Amino acid sequence: MDITTQSIKQRFGIIGNHFLLNRSIEKALRVAPTDISVLVTGESGVGKESFPKIIHQLSHRKHNKYIAVNCGAIPEGTIDSELFGHEKGAFTGATSSRKGYFEVADGGTIFLDEVGELPLTTQVRLLRILENGEYIKVGSSDVKKTNVRIVAATNLDMEDAIKKGKFREDLFYRLSTVEIKVPPLRSRKDDIHLLFRKFASDFAKKYNMPTVRLDEDAQDLLNNHNWSGNVRQLRNIAEQLSVLEEKREIPPSILNTYLTDVKISLPALVNERKEQNDFSNEREIMYKILFDMKKDLNDLKKITKHLNTDTQNLNSSEKSNLEKLFEIKASNEEVINKKSSYEDEQIKQDKYHFAEEISEEETLSIHDKELELIIKALERNNGKRKAAAKELGISERTLYRKIKQHDIEL
C-alpha cells in the first residue's frame, strides 16, 4: 500500500497544505517503521498529539498497546509509580502491587506528553529505560525489562531548560534522536481559513444549525491574527461564533471581539525588570516597614492613654487593639534585626536609627501598661491564664509568652 502525506492527513484528521506541516508528516512517515525515539516539539495547541499516533499506527507495534501519558498532569509524588509501577507497601496507601505504564505497554508505544515537566529523579529512571530497557518498580529491588518505543512531546525551550538545570542534557539527546517540529498556526496563514471552515462545518452539524461564514474582511483579520493558542484557539473561536452569534455571516467587527491573545512576552519582561530593580525594591520595602511600624506604635500609644486600668471595662475594639499592641511589639525586634545580605550601609543606618527612636519613645510606656493590665487580669481570675487571656482579648499563647517575657510570678 502506497502511503502518501495526503492519505495520512485524511486518516488522522490533519488539515493544511503548508510545506512545513507536510515536512513534519513526511518525517513521521520515515521514522515510523523504526524503533528510534522521537521528540515532537512545537507551541501549545499546534496538534503535536497527532504525530505519535501516526508513528505508532505505521510501525510494527501497531497491534500492541499505545499509551499517552500527560507528564504535567501527574503529581511529582506519584509519577514514578504511574510510569514504573509499585510493590505492595511501597508507600502509604499502596495496599497492593501495581503495574506501571512501561510494563503495561510492553511491545507497544508510550507517548510522553509535556515530557519537560518530568522531575529530575524520574528523568534518571527514564534515561535507564532508553539506554537498556531496564527499570525498577517503586519499593522493589528487582530489575525488570521492557520493550517500549518512546515518543515524547514538549512545548518548552529544551535548551533553556537544560541551561537552568531543569532537564538532563543526556536524556534530551536520547529522546530527540529524531526531532519533529510542528509549525505554529501563524506560520501557516494559507491554512487558517481552511481550518476555520472545517471547524465551523463540524459545529454546525453538532449543534444542528447553519454554518457560520466570514466575509472577506473578516477572513483577512483571521489570517493576520497572532494565534498564540494555535489550532486549539482557532477551534475554540469557531465554536463560540457558531453558538453565540445569531447572524451566520460574521463581519470583522464581531470577529475582533473574539480575537484575544495572552501577551506571552509579559513574564519575561517582568522578570527582567525584577532582576534590574531587586535592590531598589528591597530598599523601598524596608523603608515602608519601618515607617508603618512607627505609625502603628504611635497610634497604639494614643489608644493606651485612653485605656482604663480596670480591664473589665475594655470594649471589644480596645481589646483588639491591645492584642495588636502585644503582637506588633513582639515582632518589632525581629523585623528591625533582620539583615539581608544585599543591604547597603545606608539601609543599616536608617534601620538602627528607627529602632533607637522607637525604643526611646515607645518602649517604656508600652511595657508598663502591658505589665499592669496582665497582672490585674491574672489577679481577677485567680491566676487562670485562659480566663485572663479571654478578658484581655488575646490568645492564651500570647499571654503565656508575655508572662514569660515580663517574668510574672503566678
Q: What is the mean predicted confidence (pLDDT) over 343-359?
A: 51
Name the β-bridge partners of 159.
Answer: none
Give the domain ranges of the chain.
Answer: 5-183, 187-256, 266-406
Is the pLDDT higher at 119 or at 378?
119
| CATH homologous superfamily, domain 5-183 | P-loop containing nucleotide triphosphate hydrolases (3.40.50.300)
- 364: CB partners within 8 A, 6+ apart: none
Nearest to 65 by CA among 78, 52, 75, 74: 52
Which fold, 187-256?
Helicase, Ruva Protein; domain 3 (1.10.8)
Strands 109-113 and 66-70: parallel
The x, y and z cell numbers of residue 119, run together, are 522531575
Is the pLDDT at 317 greater than 70? The verdict is no
Alpha carbon distance 228, 113 (integer Å): 19
What pLDDT, on a 0 to 100 scale, did the predictor assign at position 151?
Answer: 97
Sign of the alpha-carbon torsion through 289, 290, 293, 298:
negative
What pLDDT, on a 0 to 100 scale, did the predictor assign at position 278?
Answer: 47
Alpha carbon distance 384, 20 (integer Å): 80
Alpha carbon distance 268, 278 (integer Å): 15
pTM of the model as a whole: 0.63
Task: Determine which of 123-132, 174-183, 301-310 has the lowest per-residue pLDDT on average.
Answer: 301-310
Task: Return the half-sphere exposure (C-beta side, CA atoms, 13 A cut-off) of residue 76.
Answer: 7
Amino acid at 109: T
pLDDT in tens, 230-261: 999 999 999 999 999 999 999 999 999 999 76
Is the pLDDT at 267 greater than 50? The verdict is no
